[in-house]
Structures are given as C-alpha cells and as structure tokens.
Chain A
Amino acid sequence: MNGYCGKMLFVDLSTGRHEVQPLEEDLAGQFIGGYGIGAKVLFERMEPGSDPLGPDNIMGFTTGPLTGTGALLSGRYTLVCKSPVTGGWNDANSGGYFGPELKKAGFDAIFIQGASKTPVYLWIHDGEVEIKDAGAIWGKDVIETEEILKSALGEKSLRAAVIGPAGEKLSLMAAVINDGHRAAGRGGCGAVMGAKKLKAVVVRGTQEVPVADPEKLKAVNQEIVDTIKNGPAARIAAAFSTFGTTMMTGASALSGDSPVKNWGGVGIVDYSEEAATRFEGAAMDPRYRVKKYSCAHCPIGCGAIYEVNDGKWPVGETGRPEYETSAAFGCLMLNEDLEALIKCNHICNIYGLDTISAGATVAWAIECYENGILSKADTGGIDLGWGNAEAIVQTTQEMADQSTEFGKTLALGSAGAAQKLGKGAEYLITVKGIELPMHDPRLGPGFTRTYAMDPTPARHVKGGLGLQHMQISDPSKYDPEGKGQADLEATAAQEIINTAGLCLFKNFTGVQNIARKLIPPVTGWHFDAEEERNAGLRIFHMRHAFNLREGMKPGDFPLPKRSVGEPPQTEGPLKGVTVDYKGFNQNFFKAIGWEETTGRPSRSSLEQLGGMEYVIDTLGL
C-alpha cells in the first residue's frame, strides 16, 4: 500500500506483550491517517468511562500517508488519547523528525495500553520492538533523556518522543516533546504517558515508505518550491522562513488578536508597543539566533535555535519561542521581559509542559493574586503581579518541577487549580478545562465555533472560519448567517491537512489544495474535492463520536464570557465587539446536521459518508 507501512503496532505495558496488525487499505482510505485512524481505533477498542490516567486509556502515536515519503511539508505526527482534562477525545500534533522516523522504523502507528509497574521506554528499530527499563532516564529533562538514550542504544540518529518531569508527575498540562523543543502539547497527553510510566517512545529505521508515482511527487514538490519562491505570497513566505510564527507577534498584541492581561486588557492600552515589538523574531533574532531549524521535509524552515549565555537567565541553546508562547508569556501576563520569555519557554520545553496552558495558568494566577483571591500564603511567598518577570519565572519553574505546594497546584492547570483551591473560577479562560490559545475570537469570530465545538476544545489549529476571520477587517465576518457551510468545508479540509501529516503553515506557501496535490502521487488514490470533504467529515465525526459516547453534549463546552465580549471592551480595536457565538454554532450545526441540544448527528448523514457503521450502532442513531 503506497504511502503507508501497512502495519500498526499494539503494545500492552501491563503484560509486556505487543502485536503487529495490518493497516488495511479500507481503513486508510476512509480515515487517512493521524487522528483519523487514531479516533477509529480508540473508539473501537476503548470503553466509555475509562480513567484517562488508568491502564485502559490507549495512547496512539500516529502518522499520515505523506509522512516519511519525501512529500514536502509532511513531517508532522499526532498523539491521540483520552484527555485527563476534558474526559473526552484528545489529539495533539507535533513537527520535527519523529513522525518520519516512525514510518522508517516500519509502523504507521503505535497504540499503547496498560501501564508498566516501573518506568520503561519503547525502543522500535526497523520493525523490532523492545520494552526497556527507563530507570536511568526517569526524572531527567527531555534533553538529558535523549542524550542518555543515544549513548545507551549506540544510535545517534534515533528520534524520541519524551516526557519530562512534568509528565512523570502527572501535570495536566504535560506535553510530549520530540527533538528537544517540538511539542505535542495540548490536552494533558504527557500525563497520560506518565501514568503509564512510559518515559519515551524511541524510533530508528532505514525502511523506505513506498510511493505510487515518485516522478509525479517530485514534480509536485517542485511546484511547491517554485510557488514559495516566486508565487504571489513569496515575500511573506520568505519573511516567515526567517522569523517563523513570531513574524507578527507585535501586530497581534496591538490589534486585538492576542489576548492581553488574562483576556481582560487591551493591547494598545495595557501593553507597551516597545515590548510588543521586542517579542518579534525581527528584534529577538539579532540578539540570540545561532542557527535555523527546519522540520523534516520542510522547504520553509520556520524555526530557529537561540543561544542565551548571559543575563538573568542563561539557558545555553534553546528553541526560539513560538508565537503562542510569546503571547502567553508576554502580553497575556503583561510581561515585557524578553529574557523571562525565553527562560519560561525553555523551562516548558525541558520539563515538558504545554506553553499555552502553562502561560495561561500563570496569567490566571496573577489575576487571582492581584484581586486578592490568592495571597502570599497561597503562592508560597511569591509576589505575583502583572509583568513581574522574576515572579513569573519562579512560578513557571515551580509549576514545572512541582517543588512547592503552589507549583503542584498550578501543575493541574488553571481549571484544576481553581477546583483544588475552591476559588478563582471567575478568572478562568477555559473551555472544558482547556486554556484558550492566543487568538482572540473577538477579532476572529469564527474561532468561537472551533474553540467550543471542535471535539478538542480551545484549539486554534482545528478547522473553521477563525483563521480566515482574524486576517480580515471586514465587519461582515461577525454575521454568522449563512456561514455554516463555509465553516463545515473549512473544517473538513483541515482534518485532511492534520491527518495526512501536513503542516498548517502550508498557509504561508501560497499553494492551494496541497493535500489534493500530494496525496494522489503518494498513494495512487483518486483524491478530489469530494473525497477530501467526505474523508474530512468522517474523521471529524469519529472524534465527535468519542465525546458523544462519553456522554458529552454541546452545552458542556461554554465559552468564557471575556472571549466573546460579554461585556464588550470599552476601548481599543475590539471596542464594542460582542460575538454572536450562538449564531455561529447554530449555522454550523445546521450545515453538518447535528441536533442542537445533544450534538447527535443524523443517521442518514453518517450512512452517506460510509465507514461509520460502528458509530451508528454504538450511538444508537
């Protein structure tokens, strides 16, 4: 089967056994890869009500058909599991080199159930599978872990998906880190891995992934490169290649795109223009950049490695903070100290924390402290305040290493901390416990539907109209009427980008319909707009079905009032804006055919898609 290894690995850490099962072409054709296949496998193999931190939670490391084939922009992989935060479906996506290496090691996906009694890691090399003792790496940060693994296994070219101490200690914001600074961050997947006492999944392979039409793939790759270099978006692509996602940090902070002061502030009022600009790649790179970083098979290469050897918080080599981090640890908490941003990003990387949730949790704690909800007794003496860089760094460190009671509490995430403390809920900016990312729906109203109604709530990288809306100033974007179909189409298309292994930043290339261009020469399939839409909807419904079976319904995912402008801001670019989020939901539900109160899809719509018989039967549609 072209584009695939044709094999899925199933590991049981309780028994120590593993088995290899074929990935059938039907499954691949209908659910593509990544969290599409992941959702189908987990829906069929897991029972509702499973404890997310228990042995029955299945954790999947999944790839797409383009990954590892040399198709450009296809280096991503996706983690899937049940989230310990939401109790529902979770997936988290990461770049770097782990995904392609997993395919070269011989597997399209690895699914892990059970839990080991003692710390272990999985070593997968050219089809061979070993569960090995992780005693020497348990407790180590992600960088140290990779170094020890390379030495112990005598393999410099291995790639590893690793939890740091945050995951080991079951922080609900724990991420799984690969290549030192690439994160499958959201939804608490690092805690799931920690609960299984699984320190790392380590892969190395030399196998080739078959491609149906290598010459055609080469031609499409060339077209992509030519469009990036010479197409209508060439100058933007070049700027993005240099500065990455921090290309627009300043504009975002001042425009209403980035939330400011825990979503209660205004960029042009509460945050200095100088700081907003200082947190951009154009300002940071001359001081700290030592080299470029590219993910596998990426002609853009939007990353960078920094080196900080002096100042208040020297960290040596570290990844450049991405936009989300720069906003979460920047304007969201009114931090203007660049060194503090880099330090906090580094802490999150090496301890293995999701920077969005970590930054948002610190911002929540600051607002609680400023309003007397938290006291110095709660913070262990830390004088938390807006923009207090030293306090922010200390809080982040304690949250990462859980060395204090305050740190242990914050490691639960803002919602978990509020629940534990029995206070502070009024300042939460979460959906089902997941902290909102750094794109404000008051500027991009389509984000309201995505943040609330995607099966993984509070994600800016899931499909919908938000990304389009945040880029345009036309006020008609606030009117949800008639937008349901466009929302649906955008959602389905994004499912394919995510599950094929492609990077969201294909948006910067100027290349249209990239999945439809790359999937056919790799797989040999016919894959047009209709196939793309149907597969995308199948995948979306499969993730949604997981949540429905857990008893979730749309009303369980309310948006925080600040994020929709209730009440509206009284100054700044978002002055007077209240988003009709109910209208966006209603229009989407109408287009996709979901019942408004229960979120249940119609039987006929799933029958039309095909491949959903088990969902129809299980949900009793």
Chain B
Amino acid sequence: MEMRITVNFSSLFRTLAGVDQVELEVAGGVTADRLLSLLAQKYPDLPLERDKTFFLLNGQIAKGDQMIREGDQIRLFQLSAGG
C-alpha cells in the first residue's frame, strides 16, 4: 500500500535542494535507509551520504532500518562545526 511522506530539509540541504520540503509517494514498509536512497535518486546533487546524513524521525535520530509510517515527521540535515 502506498503512503505519502513529507520530508523537511534543513539548512545546507535546503540551500542545495532549493526547497524546504518534498513529498514522496512510497510503498508501505519503507525504511529510513530506503527513503534516503529514493531521495538521493531524486536529488543527485545533494550530498546524501548515509554516514553524514542525520535522519530525524519524529524528533529522534533514526537508525537506518527504522520503518517509516504515514504521518511521521521527517527532517534531513548535515552538520559541520562553526566558528
């Protein structure tokens, strides 16, 4: 069964993607890692490296095998030290 997912981009990703958020139709049972792959295909210029991308799922840092459900709040970002 398909579900609609809204992914919010923060900071650098927002700047590079040119959008605040994106909506995707994905199959039920999608994991965080799988969602990341789908986004990497949609936005090939975004540096969506798995080890450097933070995936905030309902306010918590998600593990790659965590399942995404309809209505979940998702935020993606990358971090770097500032001065």
Contacts and interface: CB of A to CB of B under 8 A. Distances in A.
A280 B82 CA distance: 12
B11 interface: yes
A471 interface: yes
Interface in A114-137: none
Interface residues of B, number: 26
A280 B61 contact: no
A473 B55 contact: yes
Interface in A220-254: 233, 235-236, 239, 243, 245-252, 254
A493 B4 CA distance: 47
Given A251-B78, A254-B75, A571 B59 contact: yes
A248 B83 contact: no
Interface in B27-83: 45, 47, 51-56, 59-61, 63, 75, 77-83
Interface in A450-479: 460-461, 467, 470-475
Contacts of B77: 248, 251, 254-255
Given A245-B82, A322-B83, A573-B56, A254 B10 contact: yes
Contacts, number: 106
Nearest to A577: B61
Nearest to A252: B79
Contact of A236 (B47, B59, B61, B83): B47
User: Which of B60, B61, B78 has most A Cβ within 10 Å?
Assistant: B61
B80 A255 contact: no
Contact of A473 (B16, B45, B53, B82): B53
B59 A248 contact: no
Contact of B82 (A438, A443, A471, A472): A438
A504 interface: yes
Nearest to B63: A475
A572 interface: yes
Given A235-B47, A251-B10, A473-B54, 14 more contacts: A233-B47, A235-B16, A236-B12, A248-B79, A248-B82, A257-B79, A268-B59, A277-B10, A461-B83, A472-B51, A473-B55, A573-B56, A573-B60, A573-B61
11 contacts: A236-B16, A245-B82, A247-B15, A251-B79, A255-B77, A322-B83, A324-B83, A438-B82, A461-B83, A475-B63, A572-B59
Interface of B: 10-12, 14-16, 45, 47, 51-56, 59-61, 63, 75, 77-83
